A and B are shown apart, each in its own frame.
Chain A
């Protein structure tokens, strides 16, 4: 089975025009578009079911709770978690990282400790640790960038000495690099560290199996995987979550409150203070069912073939004028194409492309330490998803030529 060639029809936004041209959306690494299945699930919830969850005994409150908990189970299945109770809903992946830092980190990281991250992390997997380290005084180590946009794992065992947590992105949002999570996880466990995987760019694009990857925590976000904004997930093994103190305090996360103190609720509720984003959770549930119906293997195959085509087409049209950062082997990368084109600044590239209805991201992609390692201030990034086509790439390749002409020295 392959991705249906008319899949764009299921994404209402993809039928609009921009500056009089059909939209060519190539920024799914920033945020994906939403299919009818997700939009109608959220719309139906508000029109037919809307009520607060885990409270009222009346029918629609029970329906709302049931729909939300069904989403939790479907998301658990989607990543092969042991139990739906291991799915903690957060605002986004960023909040999930902050939850781990502020709950697990405060309890486990002190002056003699270290954590290990990498040169290609998103700021969401850097700054929460830096904030905490200011208080707790632990060391932050970095796995360096190696050849061809991959990680240099030569000194991994040395770097892991004394490390309590290793936190690595499964796929770089700048380079598209697919990192060897299982290999790093095995080394981390051998060194006595826990393993956190940033799944933000991975979960939307590849079949994800947390048991097979053998990680202990995973953070990801809904809006990059056909779901709405405002909803992310922290997954962690139940025994780790059970041992962690609450993050935010308030309603829902308690079993009892007295003047003398509180008793925390069971997971997942312990970490979900206040009324949750119910419609967004239901929307994310619809998104994983939508992705499942297409098949994550098929999505991955579609993106491999499209990435191969993009490399071929861009080189054919622009030769040595174009450089694509990150791995040149398609198998070891996702469909994230950070482009350097002649000496044209990424901002100017994206401005010219915009006139053709093409949406690409220009900037540092919230990965400034990586940009410094690459020695660039910014890149123009085209990122592919299940709804992109070879025709989208053709339009990109042609419009790039115009940027080249305008800014030629």
Chain B
């Protein structure tokens, strides 16, 4: 039986209590994406700027539970300064970790497209692995990532 310590790891609580990259960038020029979890009313606002290849700045606003807030904070730290290609790899790997089903799908596509990198290290994000044991909370953890992904899609269009 998974216990609370599987979910609320210290590093998660740290990001929740001291969120990184808080706030909103002025949009435009920044890109602004809102994400909602209709189940619980959680809301995340991701704003970021790019120089064409990399994310040069990113800020997180909104309100939500410890898991969605910590995930957003960790995400902002993980993607800042990275190229959009790298960010997509991280996102895919993270989302694969968040879902057994998606994980299998990713492994299948991995053989064909060599994405995502199975050995890609997620660093601090690994702390969120325990969320999978609490299925109802998976959407909390993926909320900011889905917002960022749709933002990247907008940019590439």
A291 within 8 A of B: no
| Given contact pairs A19-B1, A351-B4, A345 touches B66 in the complex (Cβ within 8 A) | yes
Chain B residues whose C-beta falls within 8 Å of the C-beta of A224 in the assembled complex: none
Q: Tell me whether B65 and A371 are in contact (CB under 8 A).
A: no
Q: Mark B123-143, 1 if CB is under 8 A from A, else 0.
A: 000000000001001001000
Specify which chain B residues have a CB less than 8 angstroms from the CB of A371 in the assembled complex.
41
Q: Is the CB of B4 within 8 A of A355?
A: yes
Q: Which residue of the partner chain A has the closest CB to B36?
A: A377
**Complex CA–CA separation, A151 to B12 (angstroms):** 41
Q: Evaluate contact between A348 and B41: CB separation under 8 angstroms.
A: no
Q: Do B65 and A345 have beta carbons less than 8 Å apart?
A: yes
For the complex, give the distance between the alpha carbons of A377 and B63 in Å.
8
List, in ascending order, chain A residues with CB within 8 A of B16's CB: 407
- B1 vs chain A, min Cβ distance (A): 6
How many angstroms between the C-alpha atoms of A347 and B67 in the bound complex? Answer: 9
The answer to whether A407 touches B40 (Cβ under 8 A) is: no
Inter-chain CA distance A347–B4, complex, in Å, is 13
CB distance from B77 to the nearest CB of A (A): 20
Nearest-CB distance from B101 to chain A (Å)? 22
A268 interface contact, C-beta 8 A: no
Residues from chain B with a CB closer than 8 A to the CB of A19 are: 1
A378 within 8 A of B: yes
Restricting to A227-258, which residues have a CB under 8 Å from any CB of B? Answer: none
Chain B interface size range = 20 to 34
Establish whether residues B17 and A364, one from each chain, have CB atoms under 8 Å apart when the complex forms: no
Is A395 at the interface (CB under 8 A from chain B)? Answer: no
Q: Tell me, rounded to whole Å, the shortest Cβ–Cβ distance linking A341 to chain B.
A: 13
Query: What are the residues of chain B within 8 A of A355 when measuring CB–CB?
Result: 3-4
* Residues in chain A near residue B134, CB distance under 8 A: 351
Contact, CB under 8 Å: A377 / B42: yes
Q: Does B64 contact A (CB under 8 A)?
A: yes
Number of interface residues, chain A, beta carbon within 8 A: 19
Which chain B positions have C-beta within 8 A of A140? none
Complex CA distance for A160 and B64, rounded to whole angstroms: 38
A58 adjacent to chain B (CB < 8 Å) = no
- The residue in chain A whose Cβ has the minimal distance to the Cβ of B3 is A355
List B contacts of A346 (CB < 8 A).
40, 65
Assess whether B13 is interfacial by the CB under 8 Å rule.
Answer: yes
The 8 A CB mask of A338-358 against B (1 = contact, 0 = none) is: 000000011110011001000
Determine if A364 and B40 form an interchain contact, defined as CB atoms under 8 angstroms apart.
yes
Q: How far is the CB of B134 from chain A (nearest CB, A)?
A: 7
Q: Among residues 54 to 90 in chain B, which have CB atoms less than 8 Å away from a CB atom of chain A?
A: 63-67, 69
- Shortest beta-carbon distance from A165 to chain B in Å: 28
Within 8 A of A (CB), among B1-41: 1, 3-4, 7-8, 13, 16-17, 39-41
Nearest residue, chain A, Cβ from B16: A407
Q: State in angstroms the CA–CA spacing of A19 and B63 once bound together.
A: 29
Q: Would you call A312 an interface residue if the criterion is a C-beta within 8 Å of the partner chain's C-beta atoms?
A: no
Q: Give the chain B neighbours of A409 by CB distance below 8 A.
A: 17
> A19 vs B105: C-alpha distance in the bound complex, in angstroms?
32
Q: How far is the CB of A315 from chain B (nearest CB, A)?
A: 25
**In the complex, what residues of A have CB within 8 A of residue B17's CB?**
409
**Contact of A3 with B by CB under 8 A:** no
- Are A378 and B40 touching (Cβ within 8 A)? yes
Answer whether residue A306 sits at the interface, using C-beta atoms and an 8 A cutoff: no
A364, B13: Cα distance in complex, Å: 24
Is A362 positioned at the interface, with any CB of B under 8 Å from its CB? yes
Q: Do the beta carbons of B8 and A347 come within 8 Å of each other?
A: no
Q: A363-B40, A377-B43, A378-B41 are in contact. Are A348 and B63 (CB under 8 A)?
A: no
Residues in chain A near residue B140, CB distance under 8 A: 347
**Do residues B64 and A345 form an inter-chain contact, with CB atoms below 8 A?**
yes
Rounded to whole Å, the gap between the CB of B51 and the closest CB of chain A is 34
Is A136 among interface residues, defined by CB-CB distance under 8 A? Answer: no
Is A368 at the interface (CB under 8 A from chain B)?
A: yes
| Interface check A406, CB cutoff 8 A | yes
Name B69's closest neighbour in chain A (CB-CB). Answer: A345
When A345-B64, A348-B65, A407-B16 are in contact, do A378 and B3 touch as well, CB less than 8 Å? no
B147 to chain A, nearest CB (A): 16
Asked if B41 and A363 make an inter-chain contact with CB atoms under 8 angstroms apart, the answer reads yes
A377 in contact with B64 (CB, 8 Å): yes
Q: For A351, what are the chain B residues with a Cβ–Cβ distance below 8 Å?
A: 4, 7, 134, 137
Assess the B40–A377 pair: CB atoms within 8 A: yes
Can you list 24 A-B contacts with CB-CB less than 8 angstroms, sorted by A residue number? Answer: A19-B1, A345-B64, A345-B69, A346-B40, A346-B65, A347-B40, A347-B42, A347-B65, A347-B66, A347-B67, A347-B137, A347-B140, A351-B137, A355-B3, A362-B40, A363-B41, A371-B41, A377-B41, A377-B43, A377-B64, A406-B4, A406-B13, A407-B13, A407-B66
The 10 closest A-B pairs by CB, nearest first: A347-B65, A377-B41, A345-B65, A364-B41, A378-B41, A363-B40, A348-B66, A378-B40, A348-B65, A409-B17
- Interface contacts beyond A347-B42, A352-B4: sample of 10 additional A-B pairs, CB < 8 Å, sorted by A: A346-B65, A347-B66, A351-B134, A363-B40, A363-B41, A364-B41, A377-B41, A377-B42, A378-B41, A409-B17
